[in-house]
Every structure is written in C-alpha cells, then in structure tokens.
A and B are shown apart, each in its own frame.
Chain A
Amino acid sequence: MAIPLLSLIVFTPAVGAAALMFIRNDDVVRWMALGVTVLDFALCIAMLGGFDTSTHEMQFTETRPWVPALGITYALGIDGISAPFVFLTALLGWICVLASWVAIDRKVKEFMVSLLAMQALMLGVFCALDLFLFYVFWEAMLIPMYVIIGVWGGDGRVYAAFKFFLYTLAGSLMFLIGVIVLYFHGGETFDIRTLMAQDLPFQVQSWLFFAFLIAFAVKVPMVPVHTWLPDAHVQAPTAGSIILAAVLLKMGAYGFLRFSLPMLPEATVHYSTLMLVLSAVAIVYGGLLALAQDDLKKLVAYSSISHMGLVTLGIFTLNLRGLEGGILQMFNHGVTTGALFLSVGLIYERTHTRSIADYGGLMKAAPVYTAFLALFTLSSMALPGTSSFVGELLVLSAAFAANLAVGAAAVLGALLGAAYLLGMYRKVALGPASIGMRFKIRDVNAREIAAILPLAVFVLWIGLYPKPFLEIIDASVKHLLAQVHGKGGAQ
C-alpha cells in the first residue's frame, strides 16, 4: 500500500496541535510548532516532486468509506488547481509561526494549537474530494479562526470575530443546503468526481449556482458581502491576517473553480456576465476604498477586495488566459498580500501604530525592511518583473476579450492600485522622519528575514519565470474549460 501522502500532509498539523496541548513551556511550544509546520512543508515539497503535470486527473488519491449509509467517503486527492494552494498553505504555515514568535506573548500554547488546527483544516479543504468532507473542513475552520481573532486580536476583536463568524456561517449554511440538493440530484453521492460528471437540469443548476455563490462570495469576498473583511483583518493578529488574506480568501475562488464551474456549467455560462460585473464592481470599489484609508491594515484589506475581484473576473471570463491568470493571481495574491500583512505586522510590533500619518522616512531607520516593503508594494501593483504582473496581464487580456467595459474597469482598478500603494509607500518610507517616529526603529532581524525572504523569492521567481507554475495548473485548467464549454455550450 502506498503511503497516504495527502492524509499525512493534512493531519500532521492536527497531530502536532494535539501534542502541543500537553506542553507547558512557551519556548518549547514555539519550536515544536515550527518543527511541525516545517515538516508539513517538507511533505508538501515531496508531494510536488511526485506531481504529474501532464494529466488533469486527481493524483495521490485516497478513498475510504466514512458513512456508507449516506454515501459519504473520506476521499482526498489533488489536481493542478488545488496543488498550488496546498503548497501555499504549507508555506505560510511556518511563516505564520515565525510571524507570531514574539508578537504573541500570552496564551502562546493556545495560539499555536489554533494555528496548527487551522492549517490542518485549510489543507483539508484543498485536498477533499468528497463534498461532505469538504464541508466539514470548510465549516470547522470557523472555530479556530474565531478564536484567533477573538482572543489575540486588537481592541475591537470581539465585534470583528462575531462578524466574521456569522457572515461566513450564514453563507456556508446555504451552501450546505445546496450540497444536500446536489446529493439527491447527483445520484446520492458526495463524490466530487462523480458529481462533476452529472448533467443537471438548468433550473437546478441555477438554484445551486446561487446557493454556492452566497457561500463563496462571502469568503472571496465580493461586494456587497465584503464588510466583514476589513474588520477581521484590522483586528486579527498578524498571523491571523496572513491566513485570512493568503488562504481563506482563496477558498471562495477555489470553490467556484472546484464546484460551480465543473458541476454547474450551464448556469456558470449563463450567469457569467453577472459575475463579471460583480467582479468589476469589487475591483473599482475596493480600490476606491483603499485610496481613502489611513490604517495600513485596512488599506491592504481593501486592496485585497480589489485584487480578489480581479481573480473572480479572470475565472468568469471562462477562457484559458483568464482562468490561468486568475489562478496564478490567487497564488500571487496569497504570497504578496501575505507578505504585506507580515510587513505591516513587523512594523506594528515596533511602533504600535498602524496609522499611515504616523509614519515617514522609514527608509533611513530600517533600510532592509523598507526594501522588502518596496518589493511587495510593487508586486501588489503588478510591476513587470514581479509575480502579479504575469497574472494581471493574463486576466486583463482575457477581460478585454470577454467584455470591453469590464476590461476597462479592471484597468481602472490597476491604476487605483498604483495610486494607493505608491501613496502608502511614499508616506511610510520616504520623506523626513515624522514626529511620531523619532524613536529608534530596529531593522529586521534574522528570524524576521527568514519569514519574509521566501515570500520575496516567490514574488521574483514567478515574476521572472512563471512557466513551472503555469505548467502545474495547465492540464487541469484545460480540462476544466472543456467541462464548462462541453456541457455549457461554447461561447
């Protein structure tokens, strides 16, 4: 019997979390959490090493009966669409541990347990091949995330935690009903591969499309159900913000890719214009809101809404460039925005203020830090040579092919992005040192560089040589397109 690699990847953090509960010393807890996440990352590298990029089929599959009476199985597997996100989650796992090393100084054990539990569940979401299993992972994430925001967050943490919890819960409960309806229409099975092969009546597809849309739109988040995001981001501790921005938001888009497109192709094609418009609104509206922010975290949060709008835009152009660009952009956004939140977190640990007005002339005080900040800022606005450029270019060209007005909105969003990001960088890094910043700011230390450097590497690597990344997703995206257009009719 082959080694169940995916189960190992998913449950290593879970076992680690359980083991951590019995340890009393905070330092041991930190090192153990780091060890577990690094081990998980190593497993993930091993998984990618054996990943076959030439097929769209699910790989590393495992299937075991779980609740046979209802056709529920424990089934894991990955394809080119989920593999990048498994990798991203594992990568950010240890970066989050490093980012919380000193930032979390009370209830360290509980925090690391929550963090590891969160990681196990997120990996489970991306690996699940059974809708019930997927839902269990998807919904169970609410518990550790609620605790992470609510216990270690800022002053308004309780409100933010509630808002996050209730928004996501309400969204995913409609998804649950959709899943059950799908179960009965798809031949009493929760198996994702079987359900993808079903040909459902258009009426059913439409209902399900909107049931799924509510859940995924809240997670992405799309306007108008985005209001939980700024609160959650601002109040969450750094690691929580990184997880939220880098992985949680991807799950909404991943949901579209994994369920809406292949299972409900006709409805997807039929409502794609609506989705394009919603995405365009998110791009412009998120950008405008980001322009008006003084709080660093809020600015990055609103920029996330704008950037995730670009992702959903790419997905619902329903052509190859758009989809590949969208998925690449999901990965890039995870890396870049994760890195930006990490950067904000690092500086906040030193100054305890996130107000842009308090900063200025940081370049003189902390040159290394500022260099990293510059790189991620430029990547976030998609400068050529950084990762986001590749994804954004693909999405923009696909957007113009799909709809001129939507394409124009996307370009406007990119312009806005340049405006607020450069504006932020100018105020924080350049100019004379501001009054509030007179005290000495320490530059990044080795631990912080260890956390931030890998993200910088990915930003430049994908920016300069995106081929290996596109190769991973290529076969699966082409298959996905064939599923959409094969059943949904060519556009």
Chain B
Amino acid sequence: MTAAALFQSILASLPEIVVVTGACILLILGQLVRKGQQHFLVWASVAVVLIAAVGTLMLAGEVRTAYSGMFIADRFAVFFKVVFYLVTVLTFLLSRKYAEIEGIGSSEYYVLLLLALSGMMIMASATDLLSIYVGLELMVLCTYVLTGFLRQQQRSNEAALKYVILGGVSTGIFLYGVSLIYGLAGTTQLDGMAAAVTGDPLDPGLLLAVVFIVAGLVFKVGAVPFHMWVPDVYEGAPTTITAFMSVGPKAAGFAVILRVFLNPLVAASNVWIIVAVIAAVTMALGSFVALVQDNFKRLLAYSSIAHAGFAMFGVAAGGADGVASVMLYLLIYAFMNLGIFAIVIMMRNGDFSGEVIEHYAGFAKSHRGLALLMLLYLFSLAGIPPTAGFFAKFYVLVALVERGFVMLAVIAVLLSAVAAYFYIRIVMVIYMREPEGAFDPALTPAVGATLAFTAAGTIGIGLFPAWFLRLAQHAAIGG
C-alpha cells in the first residue's frame, strides 16, 4: 500500500477513527473523573459523535474506497451513519439521568456505546464479508456487555447470557457461509462475488452459503425465525440500551442486508422469496404476540420485530425505491421509537418502574403535554397520517406495488391494522382511565430536548417528507 493509498484510506475512514480514538481517550479519562462529575462524560461522548458527524458530512462529497476494497465511504454509508449518530447522541442524552437512577453511570457505559457506534459505522461502509464481520462483532460484543449492565438484576444478566449464546451461534452461521463463499468463489469481496455467478442454475454450494449468510444477518435485525432473543434481551437490558438497540444496531443490520442482498450473486438466487416470507412471518408474529403484552418494554420489543418485518418488505421489493424506502423507514423509525422510549426511560424514577402498561393509567390527566407526545409517537408507530410513520409505510408500499407485489402490500397493510390495535390500546390506557397514583417523571432538560427533537422529526417528516425522501433516494444503492 502506497502512502497515497494509505492517506486515502485514512481519509475515507476518518469518522470511524475519530470515534474509536475518542472512545479510547474517554476510557482513560473516565478513570480520572470524580464521582458526581459524570455529566462530563456525557458531554465528551456527545462531542466525539458530533466531531465524527462533521467529518462524515464534510467528506460526503465524493465516494472513496479504502483498504483494498474492503471499505467504502459512499452516500449510502453516510445516510446510515447520520442515523447512527442521531441514535447515539439521543441515547447519551437519555442516559444521563437514567444511569444515575440505576447506578450504572460509569465511564465504560459511554465508551462501550461509542465502540458499538464505530462497529455500526464499519458495517454501513463494509464492502467485504470480512469487514462486515469485523464491524458486526465490534457492535454486538459491546451490546452484549451493555445488556448485562444492570449487574444486580437477574433479569439483566440472564438477558446478556442469552444474547451472547444466541448471538455467537448466529455469528458462527454467518462465518460458515462466508467460508463457503470463499471456497467456491475465491473471494469475500461483495463485488468479486458477483463474478461467481456464471449462469443458471446456481451452484448448490453457493446457494447454501447465501442461506447461511442470510440467516446470520436476519438474526441481527430480530426477524423470524431468529427473533427469540429480542423480547428477553429488550426487557432485561437497561432501557436506554434497549432504546439504542431497537434502532441503531437494527439499522446497521439493515445496512448490511441491503448491501449483501442487492449483490448480483444473492439476487440471482431468488432470495427475495425468502425475504418476502421472512417479512410476512416476522410482521405477523410481532403484531400478534404484541397484542397480549403487559410489559411496555416487551411490547416495544415485539413492536420492533413487527417494524423489522415491514422494513423487510422494502428489502423484498428491491430496486432503487425499495432500498430508499427501507432507509427512510429506518430513519423515521429512529425518531418515533426513540421518542416513545424516551418516555419509558423518563418514567423510571423512584419506585416507579415505568415498565407496566397499566401503571400509565390516567397519565394524560396530570401530564397533558407528555401524554400528547406519547399519543403522537404511538399513532406514528401505528402508521396513521399525518405522522412520519405513515409516510414510512406508504413509501414501502409504493415500492412493493411498483414491483408488482400487490399481494405482499395487502398482507403488509392487514398486519399493520393488527399492530395498530396495541398502540392505540396504550393511548386508551393513558387517556381513558382514571389515575391510580401520582406520576413523577424524571424530566431533565436533556430528556426534554430529546423529546422535542424526536417529536419534531415525527411530525416534521410526516408533513414535509419531500426533502427526506430525496435524501434517501439519492443515497440509495442498486438503482
């Protein structure tokens, strides 16, 4: 590698380098911070992410490939990285008070989040199965630890252990697929793999490899049949981490899925049929099982499964609009899901766990503004206009119908009608019941800022989707 090429590579991956370096510095600085000074960590972490964000946007002008074709900084990656930054910053803002209440505010918490961020960024930029693997592992290893951060709680430990074991198996499956690809095609680069497609019918070995890779990736976004970890992990993890995992790593998983699935090799194996089936089953399972949940976090876990299913429909549609629809969906989902999680996180105060839906009865009576925000997020998650959630779903449906998959679109909307039920049931609880006790949400300025920002996104993208749509369409690959 020449010096010029090395410089190019470093330039392309500068944001990742910033985040990793920042995490390392914070790890050291964290040991020096005295008790009661933890807010310094929050702001330092936010600063690191913002510097990386500035770097990403400044370098977004041109496409840079790096590290001998294992890494690319294109607009697709930029779009996802912006989503990741958004998610991470909002998670930091939400964590400050929550971490204090739960007693988990050590520097490792923030460092691990930053490292998970860098893993997600690598995933979005990876163009080689091995660099995908590196990013993936970096991300999930951090989330394993973060899941178990509530060390005193059995639930949290159990969730972390489950996550590690199941996650390890899925990574193994993925790696096995990669090794098969390498054996048959002689390369692990996504571009190089395309050359292995010589004609119909596809080599059964390659087909097997594709199935393994699909299985490994589908695990990460929590789609059926690899969804079993989601409810337990989401319930057991600290709520801030649940909020983070439900949008960040999921979006990263979809970034990889889009890159891999739009590869000619995978496209040639008629994988869309598998994806369509996975999408329908995932959405059905998420929607129906969520109907009977009493725990808010579990409900949101199943809701996130259902949303993963809906986004999968966009993957099944494929094409430029299909890819753009998934990207837009994930961006919008980040806003509305972090919004509703912000409320749940905020409610964790004193004796109030904020996890049982029934405990929110009559919330609207004492906290009109917060209840109205909840109503906004929930109707957005249900996909009712004029919220952004509607436009996200609408665009996926447009992509489906454009490709002639009208039946898939019908299945998708019918299942989203089912899903609407459990969202509006929460609205019912907060608006139409009498309160049983007083509420004392931990509404700090940071949480307030998060709420304002997510609400602005949820209603703003819903009313003026044009700009965001163009952004997603410009960043979409595979058109």
Binding site for B on A (CB under 8 A): 65-70, 110, 132, 135-136, 139-140, 142-143, 146-147, 150-151, 157-158, 161-162, 165-166, 169-170, 173-174, 176-177, 180-181, 183-184
Contacts and interface: CB of A to CB of B under 8 A. Distances in A.
A183 to B, nearest CB: 7
Contacts of B428: 150, 158, 161-162
B390 A136 contact: yes
B432 A162 contact: no
Nearest to A170: B417
A139 B394 CA distance: 13
B368 interface: yes
Interface stretch (B169-177, B272-280, B439-447, B466-474): B466-474
A174 B465 CA distance: 23
A174 B379 CA distance: 19
A177 B393 CA distance: 11
Contact of B432 (A140, A150, A180): A150
Given A170-B417, A173-B416, A177-B406, A69 B397 contact: no
A180 B417 contact: no
A139 B432 contact: no
Contact of A174 (B413, B469, B470): B413
| Across the A-B interface, the 6 shortest Cβ-Cβ residue pairs | A173-B413, A136-B385, A67-B466, A180-B401, A170-B417, A140-B385
A165 B424 contact: yes
A146 B390 CA distance: 17
Secondary structure type dominating chain B contacts: helix
B431 interface: yes
A114 B454 CA distance: 23
Contact of A177 (B384, B385, B410, B421): B410
Contact of B469 (A70, A146, A162, A184): A70
Nearest to A171: B417
A401 B226 CA distance: 62
A67 B461 CA distance: 11
B193 interface: no
Contact of A173 (B395, B402, B417): B417
A177 B469 contact: no
B420 interface: yes
Interface string B382-395: 00111000100011
A135 B413 CA distance: 14
Nearest to B376: A143
A166 B470 CA distance: 33
A150 B433 CA distance: 10
Contacts of A110: 368
A147 B427 CA distance: 9
Interface residues of B, number: 33
B469 A67 contact: yes
A180 B397 contact: yes
Contacts of A68: 466
B324 to A, nearest CB: 9
A146 B375 CA distance: 11
A76 to B, nearest CB: 15
Contact of B397 (A146, A157, A169, A177): A177
A169 B368 contact: no
Contacts of B469: 67, 69-70
Given A66-B466, A165-B424, A147 B431 contact: yes
Given A147-B431, A166-B420, A170-B417, A184 B385 contact: no
B368 A140 contact: no
Contacts of A169: 384, 417, 420
B166 interface: no
Contacts of A161: 428, 432
A140 B425 CA distance: 17
Contacts of A146: 424, 427
Contacts of B470: 69
Nearest to A149: B432
Contacts of A69: 466, 469-470, 473
A157 B384 contact: no
Nearest to A110: B368
19 contacts: A70-B398, A136-B385, A136-B386, A140-B384, A146-B427, A162-B428, A166-B417, A173-B413, A173-B414, A176-B413, A177-B397, A177-B409, A180-B397, A180-B398, A181-B401, A183-B398, A183-B401, A184-B401, A184-B402
Contacts of A143: 375, 379, 384
Nearest to A65: B466
Nearest to A150: B432
A11 to B, nearest CB: 12
A132 B427 CA distance: 26
Contacts of A70: 395, 398, 469
Contacts of B390: 136, 139
B465 A67 contact: yes
Which of A110, A135, A176 lies at the interface centre, i.e. has the most chain B CB atoms within 10 A of its CB? A176
Contact of B385 (A66, A139, A150, A166): A139
A176 B394 contact: yes
A362 to B, nearest CB: 33
Contacts of B417: 166, 169-170, 173
In this complex, the member of B413, B469, B473 whose beta carbon has the largest number of chain A beta carbons within 10 angstroms is B413
B421 A166 contact: yes
B414 A170 contact: yes
Interface in B228-253: none
Interface string B429-471: 0011000000000000000000000000000000001100110
Contacts of B406: 177, 181
